[in-house]
Amino acid sequence: MLALEVGIRIFYPQDLGFWDSHAFRRVLPTSPHFVENIPNGRAIFTGVPVSINRDGLRGDENSSPKPPHNTRILVVGDSITFGYGIPIQDTYAKALERRLNEAPADDTRYEVLNGGTLGASLSDYLHFLNQKAELLQPDIVLIGLCLNDILVYSEAGVVLEGSTQWGGRLPRARRFNSLVLRHSQLYTLVYGSLKSTLYGSGVLDINKVQGLNFVAVQPASAYQTQAWASSREMLLRIIAFCRERNYRLVVAVFPMQMQMSPAEFKFCRERLHLQLGDGALSGEPQRRLQGLAATLGFTLIDLLPVYRVHSSEDLYLRNKMIPYDPTHPSVRGNQIAADEIFRVLKNQMQRARVQ
């Protein structure tokens, strides 16, 4: 192992910061331990430059106060919105901004701000809005929701991992894993492939790995029922926040790759040993969210139909370090999401002008 480590360092050197987000992301030390971006943080993460501005947003500085004739969309979400593994200009937030400004109906300029944070969930989205919305003055709040946001939350916003069974040992293993990643170029090189191999062989149970949440697409269970009810309450709090401040709320739902086709569903169930309910393939989680949108009164954009028009191989992140990722969209996936969000927003704007 030592010889391999030396050989890698000489002949095929690796970036030890490839998986390290400490320079731009933090977990608050006090409960409920919200995650947030570090203002002015900088890094090369997963092979792409990451720059956090003074307001904790990914991207360039934005004007404060908001300029006249400026419609500002604040996008809030997790690593999908943040743009895990892709440059800032290829995120769906930036692609949406370009589409909106291609041919505006009047002298309005559209500005789309990226408030995504790695590892965030619904309670973190509300925390971000509480901390930043008044300063940023959005006209529209766009939540980029992934099905892994469906969790059990405490009243304070703590995520309660009721279905996991790592007995307190995993946090220590995670710290050791982070330590090795920061010091071993050999481990950095094989990390992505090694995880896929361990999941595929069953050595690691992907269903019990902290931070990988698939409860919304798993078979029905008491915990899943609790997660849907708890997530509904968290969405209600976000809706109330936006209504009190007269922000339009739009929620875009990103599908997971096992929902793309029967072949993808079979691969995730048989090769990765994911515990998947049949409703995942039929789009049952999206229908639940559509029902919530109709009941609670917010705009929901379901991206599953437009994703299914395209080959799933083009929609999800792949590179030499990340051989398989069923959650994070590729550049192509981000562009398709931006196009669909643009279509819905444009139709709403046209109807508003007619009225």
User: Can you give the pLDDT at residue 170?
Assistant: 46
- Report yes or no: 161 and 150 within 8 Å, Cβ to Cβ: no
- Report yes or no: 34 and 124 within 8 Å, Cβ to Cβ: yes
3-class DSSP state for residue 275? Answer: coil
User: Can you give the pLDDT at residue 64?
Assistant: 83
State in words which class domain 27-165+206-354 has.
Answer: alpha beta
Location of structure tokens 């029905």: 220
Question: Along the chain (355 residues), what's the average pLDDT of each consecutive run of 10 residues?
Answer: 90 88 94 94 95 96 88 97 97 97 82 96 97 96 96 87 42 74 86 76 65 85 94 96 96 96 92 90 96 94 96 88 89 98 90 67
- Return all residues near 191 (Cβ < 8 A) that are at least 6 apart: 19, 181, 321
User: Can you give the pLDDT at residue 208?
Assistant: 62
* pTM beyond cutoff 0.85: yes
Query: DSSP of 189-205, one letter per residue?
Result: HHHHHHHHHHHHHTSS-
User: Can you give the pLDDT at residue 204?
Assistant: 66
3-class DSSP state for residue 35? Answer: strand
| Closest residue by Cα to residue 37 from 136, 104, 146, 132 | 132
- Report yes or no: 258 and 265 within 8 Å, Cβ to Cβ: yes
Domain boundaries, the chain: 27-165+206-354
- Return all residues near 326 (Cβ < 8 A) that are at least 6 apart: 256, 257, 258, 264, 268, 316
**Radius of gyration from C-alpha coordinates of the chain:** 20
CA angle 171, 18, 14 (to 5 degrees): 120
- Return all residues near 207 (Cβ < 8 A) that are at least 6 apart: 214, 218, 273, 274, 275
Tokens of 15: 């970036």
**Structure letter (DSSP) for residue 213:** -
Query: DSSP of 35-97, one letter per residue?
Result: EEEPTT-EEEETTEEEEB-TTS-BSS---SSPPTTEEEEEEEESHHHHTTTS-GGGSHHHHHH
* Rounded Cα–Cα distance for residues 207 and 199 (Å): 9
Location of structure tokens 């400490």: 22
pLDDT tens for 36-86 read 999 999 999 999 999 999 999 999 999 888 888 899 999 999 999 999 999
